[in-house]
Structure 1
Amino acid sequence: MNGRTPLRGRKNLFGFGGVFISFLYVYERGAKIGVQNNCVIIESDNLKRTLPIEGIENVIIFGDTSLSSNCVKHFMERDINLTWLSNQGQFYGRLESTRSVNIYRQRRQFACGEDEEFCLTLGKKIIGAKVKNQITILRRYQRNRPQSSAQASIDAMNKLLPIINKAECREELMGYEGNAARHYYQALGSLVEQEFSFSGRSRQPPRDPFNSLLSFAYTLLMYDVYTAVVNRGLNPYASFLHSIRNGHPALCSDLMEEWRPVLADSLALYVTSKGIIKREHFEKPAQEGGVYLDKQASKIYIAEYEKKVRSRSNYINYVDYSVSFRRAIEMQCQRLAHAVEEGNPDIYQPVVIR
């Protein structure tokens, strides 16, 4: 979260999961988590691992892991966020302290959410940045795919950029975003390795391996953003761009948009082009109806995601130093909080990669 270097001896994945900076992932089925003597203890199938609790800020659990009541108490006292996901990455819920809740900031957030001009101006910034970042990703990967051409899609998306800025309501804006997305995913399908080619985006459930990689990365990104939003005292369910609905962290969907091509799409392209993830790493559970990474490949993919979000860049244009992508997400949430408090969407500056 704060850009610290990895804790000594924890760079690699372990039987229970992995620790990267302040994130602990646990994917071993039936694991039990407890706290004793200022250490987090994880046990499963005659295996036991002990980690200092001081180095952990977020815990992400996949599947049917259980926690002791003492563990829950220590997590709450130390502001350690806990996210539960299914084995396939479906969100179950979160356990978090309420110390970061800022009701005064949230009241301003709700008011801005009812201000159509604020929402539309902010939405144009976010969607414009997303489309620009998608175009950049297509251009980067097209250089290495001379036999495939994404140029027609790139041209169509470029033509949409000035139209996006002329949208008169959020519904119209999201319509343009949908048009851009169709061109983008069509081009993306032509740029991936042949064994991972796909005809379009499929979500719940993902119907092919590449869509599965996209969905998994979007899930990891969603809860990185969720944590940053909550830590800044904002309400993750009160959005400015996406429609609100019960149980959906719509503000996180708003803030994810500029990051999807940068952190998730590029990751899926990278692991498939480098042979890090192969076709045989996927399984198709009969009861799920979708395609998912197996457990070992999930560990590999999460490790690559962590490398990505821990890498540094200079894409934040309001500071003159490089920051990790995870830190950049936090800074963007703080920037949004400032825009909300001032009632001025122009304060928010979305990330545009080069």
Structure 2
Amino acid sequence: MINEKTYYLFNAGRLSRKDNTLKFTAIDQDGVEGSIRYIPIESVSDLFCFGALDANASLFNFLGKQQIAVHFFDFYEHYTGSFLPKEYLLAGKMQIEQTRHYISKGKRIVIASKFIEGASANILKNLRYYQSRGKDLQSIIESIEKFSGQIKSVVEIDELMGIEGNIRQKYYESFDLIINDFSMGGRSKQPPSNEINSLISFGNMMCYSLCLGQIYHTQMNPTISFLHEPGFRRFSLALDLSEIFKPILVDRVIFKVLNKREIQAKDFDFQGNKVLLKDASRKIFVRAFEERLNETIRHRSLNRNVSYKHLVKLECYKLTKHILGMEEYKPFKIWW
């Protein structure tokens, strides 16, 4: 059996079907065709497109039948949308129960609180890791522990979002202490104002797309969320789930590529008030992100090795069971 994996298309080009194979033809700025790459369809789980993609309806019909999602990013590294095949697993009972859990203030706050509980636990794990390696992070750890202790008493989503904001603000203060040779100076998103913010924005979009892809393989509707308001973004449930995984999938990769100097100051493109990754450094980050996803840990409940990517899928299944009243949802927290 061929293992499915994510393919990243960095160059502009044309994607077409050739029998049961995907054919990608690179096209330069002058419209001249370049190298051709063939991708066996059975090896593809999803596609990430960072360059202009020329494709027709026939190609997307083919991708839809093969249950392959395509995620698109623009020139400025912004996530712009996804092609998702027909929701082949959506079920009426799940749709009803998911909606009930959103409408019920009590049920919604339970799930939303779990997302922040998991996120804060994984943030603290990161901080304690670097504290044990000589970084002076104790005051930040204590502040986040204090904010985390308020989660269980919250009864309003706005209050919960306020706590999440306070935790993130303190957490981002640690980046200047953890990362060598770069200064973050606070979080800036649109546009990212420096190198660290550029990596955070890009990495968070990667994590969001990953979560969206895993939600697709469950019965849940990705547009019905609990922490973030539905409609803030179309697939807001992916935003909810990504809160848990950003510290361990995105932030740890950022610390690695910068502190090991795999990405340096020369690898960024400064355009006025915005800072973007150059093509080569984007590929370096994506490679490091994929390596992180493919790392395995010994799962305590399953008693077998699972990858970080599979942990995201398991999180979706746990949330599904909670919504259907089968098992209480407990967010993923690093235990090692």
Provide the TM-score with structure 1 as the length reference. Answer: 0.88
Letter matched to residue 304 of structure 1: A
**Distance (whole Å) between structure 1 residues aligned to residue 39 and residue 159 of structure 2:** 50
Q: Does 1:33 align with 2:15?
A: yes
Q: 1:327/1:302 Cα in 2 relative to 1: closer, same or farther (>3 Å)?
A: same
* Mapping of residues 191-340 of structure 1, within 5 Å: 191-194=178-181, 196-245=182-231, 247-286=233-272, 289-314=273-298, 317-340=300-323
Is the 1:133–1:261 Cα contact (8 Å) retained in structure 2?
yes
**Distance (whole Å) between structure 2 residues aligned to residue 294 and residue 103 of structure 1:** 45
Q: Does 1:87 align with 2:75?
A: yes
Q: Secondary structure at the match of 1:257?
A: helix
Alignment equivalent of 1:349, drawn from 306, 330, 333? 330
Is the 2:6–2:44 Cα contact (8 Å) retained in structure 1?
yes
Question: How far does residue 317 in structure 1 lie from its aligned partner after superposition?
Answer: 4.7
Is the 2:115–2:243 Cα contact (8 Å) retained in structure 1?
yes
Structure 2 unaligned residues grouped into runs of 5+: 27-32
Is the 1:339–1:347 Cα contact (8 Å) retained in structure 2?
yes
Q: Does 1:131 align with 2:120?
A: yes
Question: How far does residue 38 in structure 1 lie from its aligned partner after superposition?
Answer: 1.3
Identity %: 23
Question: How far does residue 64 in structure 1 lie from its aligned partner after superposition?
Answer: 1.2
Q: Secondary structure at the match of 2:72?
A: strand
Matched with 1:11 is none
Alignment equivalent of 1:183, drawn from 170, 176, 199? 170
Q: Secondary structure at the match of 1:259?
A: helix
**Distance (whole Å) between structure 2 residues aligned to residue 171 and residue 320 of structure 1:** 38
**Distance (whole Å) between structure 1 residues aligned to residue 224 and residue 136 of structure 2:** 40
**Distance (whole Å) between structure 2 residues aligned to residue 38 and residue 86 of structure 1:** 28
**Distance (whole Å) between structure 2 residues aligned to residue 57 and residue 49 of structure 1:** 17
**Distance (whole Å) between structure 1 residues aligned to residue 42 and residue 23 of structure 2:** 13
Quick check: 84-93 or 233-242, which moved more? Answer: 84-93
* CA deviation vs aligned residue, 1:254-297 (integer Å, no higher than 9, x gap): 111111111111110011011111111000235xx421110111
Q: Secondary structure at the match of 2:130?
A: helix
Letter matched to residue 68 of structure 2: I
Alignment equivalent of 1:66, drawn from 17, 31, 54? 54
Question: How far does residue 246 in structure 1 lie from its aligned partner after superposition?
Answer: 5.0
Matched with 1:15 is none
Is the 2:76–2:276 Cα contact (8 Å) retained in structure 1?
yes
Q: Secondary structure at the match of 1:40?
A: strand
**Distance (whole Å) between structure 1 residues aligned to residue 241 and residue 235 of structure 2:** 10
Is the 1:105–1:233 Cα contact (8 Å) retained in structure 2?
yes
Q: Does 1:156 align with 2:149?
A: no
Question: How far does residue 123 in structure 1 lie from its aligned partner after superposition?
Answer: 2.0
Question: How far does residue 236 in structure 1 lie from its aligned partner after superposition?
Answer: 1.3
Is the 1:138–1:188 Cα contact (8 Å) retained in structure 2?
no
Question: How far does residue 52 in structure 1 lie from its aligned partner after superposition?
Answer: 1.1
Quick check: 67-76 or 128-137, which moved more? Answer: 67-76
Is the 2:77–2:276 Cα contact (8 Å) retained in structure 1?
no
Q: Secondary structure at the match of 1:112?
A: helix
**Distance (whole Å) between structure 2 residues aligned to residue 34 and residue 234 of structure 1:** 31
* Mapping of residues 73-112 of structure 1, within 5 Å: 73-98=61-86, 99-112=88-101
Is the 1:189–1:200 Cα contact (8 Å) retained in structure 2?
no
Q: Secondary structure at the match of 2:174?
A: helix
Question: How far does residue 308 in structure 1 lie from its aligned partner after superposition?
Answer: 0.4
**Distance (whole Å) between structure 2 residues aligned to residue 249 and residue 189 of structure 1:** 32
Letter matched to residue 216 of structure 1: F
Q: How many matched pairs?
A: 328
Question: How far does residue 348 in structure 1 lie from its aligned partner after superposition?
Answer: 1.1
* CA deviation vs aligned residue, 1:214-246 (integer Å, no higher than 9, x gap): 111111110110011121021212111112225
Letter matched to residue 42 of structure 2: E
Structure 1 unaligned residues grouped into runs of 5+: 6-20
Q: 1:212/1:251 Cα in 2 relative to 1: closer, same or farther (>3 Å)?
A: same
Question: How far does residue 124 in structure 1 lie from its aligned partner after superposition?
Answer: 2.0
Provide the TM-score with structure 2 as the length reference. Answer: 0.92
Letter matched to residue 336 of structure 1: L
